[in-house]
Amino acid sequence: MIIKNVTVIGAGMMGNALAMVFAMSPDLNVTLRTRTLKDDRYDPIIAHLDIMVSRDVITGVQKEEVLSRITFETDLKKATENADFIIECAPEVMETKQDLFAEIENYCRKDAILATNTSVMSPTEIAAKCVNRERVVGAHFWNPGHLIPLVEVIKSDYTSDEVVELTMDVLRKAGKKPVLCKKDVPGFIANRMQHALWREAISIVENGIADAATVDEAVKYSFGLRLPQLGPMENADMVGTDLTFNIHDYILKDLESSKEPSPLLRELRDAGKLGFKTGSGFQEWTPESIKKSKQELTEYLIDMLY
Ligand SMILES: NC(=O)c1ccc[n+]([C@@H]2O[C@H](COP(=O)([O-])OP(=O)(O)OC[C@H]3O[C@@H](n4cnc5c(N)ncnc54)[C@H](O)[C@@H]3O)[C@@H](O)[C@H]2O)c1
């Protein structure tokens, strides 16, 4: 099968970004399934594209071409019946995802691929109500989905090798960097590492070793600078497995190993200190500093990637 028609289900934060990503490829037609005609349809996609135009990543003409390859559809049957590749970006609720795929199977072609953009849930469990479970695969994008290249492709207990290959192919065609997660484990590959780091970072703050801003500075001015070029496995070889062994032998017993979210995190959550959402979290935020943080991230990513 050659994938030509891509359907994205759910026009929220990730769905809008993914529709744009697939439509960047001249070889793909994209249908974005929105739930109501009232959805603020083009605006988020246009906003992403406008930033790319203003930074000379794409031209104004290319922006219009991308938009012309996206069709909006509210009817789930019409949105999926001609699709080769369907990716759901519905809310992170197991039953919603299971029911959605089970319903889509009534409409879509027998060989259509059903991908889930779940952040943490098991694609094996998401496929539970499907008849053809070998066609269900995880395809975990990273926010902001239109910029971050990585997509983790997760092989469930049922996913066929062919479905994995076709999924990797269409993601490459859309300009992404797919990596294969061979086992369906919580957090897949990258979130396991990311949250091992966050657990330690929160623990350092909680134990008064450094405040939140200092923790972030310690990352940004040290191994954070190397990470885009040097991953942990190559780094371990670079310094030597003998040195890595000695460091781990000394330090691992002292690192945070709690199996529960930290009490400090729970306290902030319970006090309604939700971070950017409420202006207070590990640190204090104003509307201006929130805007600045988001804008600087977008500009940094565009500079790094293009
Ligand atoms: N936000 C992130 O950083 C991020 C990153 C990677 C993956 N994800 C995953 O992507 C998925 C979507 O996340 P989001 O942040 O875009 O959420 P969102 O709330 O912004 O969007 C969800 C969309 O799904 C629609 N929807 C609601 N119920 C539906 C249903 N029953 N059937 C179809 N569509 C329905 C909503 O109208 C909305 O447009 C989740 O599984 C999330 O875990 C999110």
Q: Which residues pair with 87 in a beta bridge?
A: 8, 115
Q: What is the pLDDT of residue 36?
A: 80
Q: What is the pLDDT of residue 161?
A: 98
Which CATH number do you get for residue 32?
Answer: 3.40.50.720
- Ordered DSSP codes for 44-103: HHHHHHHHHHHTTSS-HHHHHHHHHTEEEE--HHHHHTT-SEEEE---S-HHHHHHHHHH
Pair (205, 130) in one structural domain: no
CA of 186 to the centre of ligand 1 (A): 18
Give the integer Cα–Cα distance in Å for 51 and 144: 13
Domain that holds residue 290: 272-306
Among 37, 74, 119, which residue has the most ligand 1 atoms within 8 Å of its CB, making it the best to mutate?
Answer: 119
Domain's final residue, options 181, 210, 233 = 181
Pair (208, 248) in one structural domain: yes
Instruction: Count the domains in the chain.
Output: 3
pLDDT under 50: residue ranges of the chain: none
CA of 100 to the centre of ligand 1 (A): 12
Pair (28, 93) in one structural domain: yes
70-91 pLDDT per residue, tens? 999 999 999 999 999 999 999 9
Q: What is the pLDDT of residue 40?
A: 54
Among 7, 8, 9, 14, which residue has the most ligand 1 atoms within 8 Å of its CB, making it the best to mutate?
Answer: 14
Q: What's the length of the chain?
A: 306
Pair (218, 255) in one structural domain: yes
The set of protein residues with a Cβ atom below 6 angstroms from ligand 1 is 9-15, 35, 89-92, 96, 100, 117-119, 141, 143
Pair (58, 155) in one structural domain: yes
Pair (298, 223) in one structural domain: no
User: Helix count (H) and strand count (E) of the chain?
Assistant: 14, 8
Q: What is the pLDDT of residue 39?
A: 55
CA of 93 to the centre of ligand 1 (A): 9
> For the CA atoms of 273, 274, 275, 281, what is the dihedral angle to 10 degrees?
30
Q: What is the pLDDT of residue 242?
A: 98
Which CATH number do you get for residue 198?
Answer: 1.10.1040.10
CA of 59 to the centre of ligand 1 (A): 29
Q: What is the pLDDT of residue 212?
A: 98
Residue 247 token pair: 């460091």
What count of other Cβ atoms lies within 10 Å of the Cβ of residue 150?
14
User: Computed over its alpha carbons, how large is the radius of gyration of the chain?
Assistant: 21
Chain Cα centroid distance, residue 47: 19
135-173 pLDDT per residue, tens? 999 999 999 999 999 999 999 999 999 999 999 999 999
Contact between 84 and 112 under an 8 Å Cβ cutoff? The reply is yes
